[in-house]
Structure 1
Amino acid sequence: MVWSLIANLGVLAIFKYFNFFNQNITALGEAFGYQNQIPSLTILLPIGLSFHTFQAMSYTIEVYRGNEKAEQHFGIYALYVMFYPQLVAGPIERPQNILHQFHEKHYFDYDRVTDGLKLMAWGLFKKVVIADRLALMVNKVYNNPTDYEGIFLIIATVFFAFQIFCDFSGYSDIALGSAQVMGFTLMENFRRPYAAKSIKEFWGRWHISLSTWFRDYLYVPLGGNRVSTWRWYYNIFIVFLVSGLWHGASWTFIIWGALHGFYQIFGFITAAQRNQLVKHLQLRKFPVFYNTLQLVTTFSLVCFAWIFFRANSLADAWYISTHLFQNLLGSTKEFGSQLLFGRNILGQYKQEFFLAVLFIIVLERVHYLQSQQKLRLEISKFRPLYRWGLYSMYLLVFIYFGVFNSNSFIYFQF
């Protein structure tokens, strides 16, 4: 097991982290008058490296723990590690869920195939119609942050929150749908994360395969919450720091992970005081207001952390985070003027902005319907005329409103 983990982590260390650590050693050495002679590597990062190495590691660990029998067929083991639907951006599967499916015979099932195709179509819609449209405005601001302040930075940050969700969950939907078409069931990776009322709940809904991977293979081995309080906080913080580093070899990703670790720890430390405040203000007597307050607070904290995830550099992240409320009144007036009388907003025609907002509303409406019923199942019950009319309308919306500029999925870089 040890040699297997060294091999997998070694590949990650060389391809993904060598230059990052080497550059930091060089900078630190120069501060003390030391010249680092080790050159940087000029090699390409394999697509999805972090995903399939973690999947390979989960197999080794589960076999070592006795939770899964060792796979005797090399082809099937290779298929588990490199299963193409989820190869480049997850979800990160466990051997208990997927290995046995490669041994089973799969027959054609019309309902299963059409159900998978619907999920793929929804994922493609989220990527091409919503995420890539939002990217046009987000990139305009985040690639030139010092040109903006106040409300423009806030809008771009909120748009990025929905961009990365639609981009990443869109890929997951396509992966789950394509696997389902072939008869395979992959684990759910997203569960309406922006409906979370706490940061802890958010991580139970966002990138579920990765958060559970870190829980089972890092958090629990460190002691989890079965240790002293301060050691528990240490375990949480280490897990989120490693999670940030997993996402990218950059200080911006590390700070993003550290922020979420701080959110979690601060939430646990202040839990009693916050409950007392809620009780004193009798907020639970107004459930709609109280739930909305929790949801907005959580979403705001997540959005603030996204600044460091998206920013091109620490300097850009610092500028954006310190200018969110700079000249807020003046920038809001300017935004209102552009909205009413201008042609362009955030570098795009005004119609693009309104379309982006409209499609975010459509997204949340679909999420609400999905939470109330199995939407794909309900669509399959429609009469053929209505059902195919809906499919035709989707196709027209996709063709007319899709942004076809060859944007790769964000998580391909990880």
Structure 2
Amino acid sequence: MNFHSIDYLLFLPLVVATYFAIPHRWRWALLLLASNLFYASWRWEYLALLWFTTLVDYFAALAMPRAGRRGRNALLAFSLVGNLGLLFVFKYFALLANTTLYALRMGQVDPIEILLPLGISFYTFQTLGYTIDVWRGKRQPERHLGYFAVFVMYFPQLLAGPIERTGKLLPQFRQERRFDMSLVAAGAALMLVGYFKKLVIADRLAMIIPPILADPSSVSPLGAVLASLGNIYRYYADLSGYVDIAIGSSMMIGITLSRNFNRPFAARSIYDYWQRWHITVTTWIRDYVHIPLARKASSRAGREGAVIVTILLVALWHGASWPWIVAGLIAGVGMVAEGTFRRSRRIAALRDGTAQRLGIAPARLAMLRASVSRAYLWFFLILLGSLANAPTMADALSMWAQMASVPHQLAALDLGLGSGFDIGRRFWIVPAAIAALEAYQWLDARRSVCARVNARGAIVSWGFYLCLATVILVLGSFGQPGFIYFGY
């Protein structure tokens, strides 16, 4: 039951209508039933693993207040082994086995793909965060199994986030609420934005980018650069589109989910970019991995190592492959280097002294620094875009080899992109849609576009949303597979 399927567009209104039609005391049961049906619509076998994770963390956390220190540690270890063990077997075992056997020249193990449970990286992190918080004494365990199960399985965010914390999401299931048409309208508007991102941008890029990553020789050096940036934007449009649909769906019920993206391509540095990208994942790893590691580090090198490990884990969470590992190392080292240049007094003195000798005013120097920082960021985005979802490391290296010839192509006054982009007039739909989306997000950051539209009356607002729906139906790419992050 994809978010952009007819089944879901019938399922959601039915759930919302039933939710407000039944007494409050039974609403958690409805959401639990709906969430199980939603998950089972993909493959019902996955439900066993989902319930296993739910029960492991429910009972482990429930027993912690009555256990001593050693008992709490043992219960936490039980939760970690149960959850991370599943994640390792289904997501990372094939990478380790293939790498080991390749090093021993013993062939290759087929990766475990068919049985990969949908959304396993999301719901294991969500339940682990709850158990760790109980272990740390930051919250009391949830005693109602039904409410806890809804927290784990809540259908809008089950497959691809956002990863919610217990303190924010779980109490909302207990709150009694009445039907609010304004929330339904706002949720539907946000869902339309999500469908635009997914169907008009991400799915159209899905027809262009993967073949180029698999065959870099099909594009010119400039085409390779453009494909790398397009790959990064495809990930953004796909996941943020899912999250918009998830938040909008939940909004209709009156339950608020976390924001997961904050205009990442408006970032001014690598650090700023990671603050804006997949916020609930990066903050989860920051709180449960990076901060504990950094606290134990007694030296600057140790703290910088904690940063690299953290970003590497973010990359491994995105994909179990060597291209993703290299992407994580590049991003981690890049962030450490950026921080070193920003904090170094010696570099600051050299920079300021040079600017003074050249007669560069402080305001002008600040602008130059911002430009260099953004150029540094976009250089790393190009590298990361060539690695994200690359079939093999050899394909990624071929992309780098192509991009290394950009100066020669520019020197020859050749702006061709190569046959990989030879798809006729359809190609221009994507950059036009990206420009429209970035303009929308720029305006929305200043004041909600939906609020502006709704303030002009029903005729204007309905006309705007009907136009957007028409654009999606006319320009959207239908028939593509589900969201990229469903397999994470």
**Structure-2-length-normalised TM-score:** 0.78
Aligned to 2:220: 149
State the 4+ residue runs in structure 1 displaced beyond 6 angstroms: 36-40, 331-335
1:128 matched to 2:199: yes
1:304 matched to 2:383: yes
Tell me how far apart the structure 2 counterparts of residues 110 and 148 of structure 1 sit (CA, whole Å).
50
CA apart distance, 1:270: 2.1
Could you tell me which of 297, 307, 317 is aligned with 2:396? 317
Structure 1 SS opposite 2:303: helix
CA apart distance, 1:236: 1.0
Q: Please give the residue correspondences for 1:53-132 in structure 2 after superposition, counting only pairs within 5 Å.
A: 53-132=124-203
* 1:144-202 deviation per Cα after TM superposition (whole angstroms, max 9, x unaligned): 21232311101111212221111111111111111111111111110011111111111
Aligned to 2:331: 260
Tell me how far apart the structure 1 counterparts of residues 247 and 130 of structure 2 sit (CA, whole Å).
20
Aligned to 1:371: 445
CA contact (8 A) 2:294 2:306 kept: yes
CA apart distance, 1:347: 3.5
Larger mean Cα displacement after TM superposition, 213-222 or 319-328: 319-328
* 1:55-98 deviation per Cα after TM superposition (whole angstroms, max 9, x unaligned): 11011011111222211111111111111111111111110110
Structure 2 SS opposite 1:106: coil
Aligned to 1:242: 313
CA apart distance, 1:208: 0.5
Superposed CA RMSD: 2.5
Larger mean Cα displacement after TM superposition, 383-392 or 258-267: 383-392
1:181 matched to 2:267: no
Tell me how far apart the structure 1 counterparts of residues 348 and 400 of structure 2 sit (CA, whole Å).
29
CA apart distance, 1:284: 4.7
Cα distance 1:393–1:253, how it changes in 2: closer, same or farther (>3 A)? same
Cα distance 1:128–1:40, how it changes in 2: closer, same or farther (>3 A)? closer
Could you tell me which of 285, 292, 306 is aligned with 2:363? 285
Tell me how far apart the structure 2 counterparts of residues 239 and 165 of structure 1 sit (CA, whole Å).
20
Aligned to 2:480: 406
CA apart distance, 1:288: 5.6
Aligned to 1:221: 292
CA contact (8 A) 1:284 1:290 kept: no
Cα distance 1:145–1:377, how it changes in 2: closer, same or farther (>3 A)? same
Structure 2 SS opposite 1:220: helix
CA contact (8 A) 1:17 1:249 kept: yes
* 1:279-332 deviation per Cα after TM superposition (whole angstroms, max 9, x unaligned): 343475236665444334313312311211131100000110122032655489
Cα distance 1:376–1:94, how it changes in 2: closer, same or farther (>3 A)? same
Could you tell me which of 422, 429, 440 is aligned with 1:347? 422
Tell me how far apart the structure 1 counterparts of residues 306 and 223 of structure 2 sit (CA, whole Å).
37
Tell me how far apart the structure 2 counterparts of residues 67 and 191 of structure 1 sit (CA, whole Å).
28
Cα distance 1:335–1:94, how it changes in 2: closer, same or farther (>3 A)? farther
Cα distance 1:11–1:363, how it changes in 2: closer, same or farther (>3 A)? same
**One-letter code aligned to 1:100:** P
CA apart distance, 1:227: 3.1
Q: Please give the residue correspondences for 1:192-231 in structure 2 after superposition, counting only pairs within 5 Å.
A: 192-224=263-295, 227-231=298-302
Aligned to 2:81: 6
CA contact (8 A) 1:189 1:208 kept: yes
Structure 2 SS opposite 1:46: coil
Tell me how far apart the structure 2 counterparts of residues 51 and 327 of structure 1 sit (CA, whole Å).
39
**One-letter code aligned to 1:62:** D
**One-letter code aligned to 1:236:** V
Identical amino acids, percent of aligned pairs:
32
Tell me how far apart the structure 2 counterparts of residues 37 and 215 of structure 1 sit (CA, whole Å).
35
Cα distance 1:324–1:62, how it changes in 2: closer, same or farther (>3 A)? same
Instruction: In structure 2, list runs of 5 or more residues that go unmatched.
Output: 1-75
Tell me how far apart the structure 2 counterparts of residues 316 and 331 of structure 1 sit (CA, whole Å).
23
* 1:183-225 deviation per Cα after TM superposition (whole angstroms, max 9, x unaligned): 1111111001111111111111000001101111011111348
**One-letter code aligned to 2:231:** F
Instruction: In structure 1, list runs of 5 or more residues that go unmatched.
Output: none
1:23 matched to 2:23: no
